[in-house]
Amino acid sequence: MNLQAVGASLAATREGLEVAGFSLQVAERNGRLSLTIGANEGACEECLVPKSLFLQMVRDEIAAAGEKVDGIDVVYPVDRKTS
Amino acid sequence: MIELLDPTREIGSGHMVYALRPSSLKGKTVGLIENTKYNSDRLLEMIGQILIDDYGVAKTKLYHKHYSSVPAHEEIITDVRKTCDFMIAGVGDCGSCSSGSVLDGILLEKEKIPSASIITHVFVNTGRAMAKQWAVPDYKFLVMQHPIANIPEDELLAKARAIVPEIVELLLAAPEAKAAA
């Protein structure tokens, strides 16, 4: 996985998250793409789309950029609160 | 207890079949489904007034969704189907509300109501993903420049004026030759 290229392919998703007060952290863990969404102060948590939709978006963006990933893990702010 | 609502579903493939379009807006009733986001109601009201003043629309009916991130509730869908000739939904200026407004348009088109969903440019990929999940990846929604919240009245009006021609075009002519009878 070309992590830099994959990260760049997610520019649209990143912009959408940032205008709603979130951050997007991109990493590779055990060969899988790890996407961690962080909530900044005042972030609109109800603005996050369901994970299935989020995955659809990022898969489409990665594919459109011609990149390939073996798997994607998404961590939402609420996941860290409940874990 | 908090009820978690997920408007997504398994992805499928297909083509959007649009409702049959009348040839004019004159004398018609337009439903406006606002998604609870700040300024959405105001912007839709401005759009509605322009449609009345410039296109001969008889009246508009403003509906308020219960939640921005889910489709309009059944009572709204039913009332639009019974009392409106067209529907405009929006304005999606966040992730979940954009996907919700796109879904409103898809559902009303399935109910044979010519519809236009509006979201802001930052969330085009969100709207497209929702359309894909509802097996209509080619569904056409309208896009305006982000943001719509926290902008002055004159800027809001300018955005309304700018998008009305696109709304009219979409309401009167389905994007492809697959209009349902």
pLDDT digit string, tens, across residues A5-63: 999 999 999 999 999 999 999 999 999 999 999 999 989 888 999 999 999 999 999 99
Tell me if B13 is assigned to some domain: no
Overall average pLDDT of the B45-49 stretch = 98
What pLDDT score does B1 carry? 46
What pLDDT score does B74 carry? 95
Helix ranges (H only) for B13-94 are 40-55, 74-83
Q: How confident is the model at residue B14 (pLDDT cuts 50, 70, 90)?
A: confident
| Tokens linked to A62 | 């990665």
**Complex-level ipTM:** 0.90
Tell me if B114 is assigned to some domain: yes
pLDDT > 60? residue B11: no
Chain A CB contacts of B99 below 8 Å: 49, 53
Which CATH number fits the domain that encloses residue B51? 3.40.50.10350
Angle among Cα B59, B90, B12 to the nearest 5 degrees reads 120
Chain B CB contacts of A48 below 8 Å: 95-96
Count how many domains chain B has: 1
Closest by Cβ to B96, choosing from A49, A52, A60: A49
Among A15-19, A69-73, B10-14, B52-56, the least confident range: B10-14
Contact A16 B6 (CB under 8 A): no
Tell me which chain A residue has its CA closest to the CA of residue B100: A49
What pLDDT score does B179 carry? 45
Please state the domain extents for chain A.
3-82
CB environment A31-52: b (16+ within 10 A), e (fewer): eebbbbbebeeebbeebbbbee
What pLDDT score does A82 carry? 63
Contact B122 A49 (CB under 8 A): no
Chain B CB contacts of A61 below 8 Å: 125
Q: What is the CATH number of domain A3-82?
A: 3.30.300
Domain that holds residue B46: 29-172
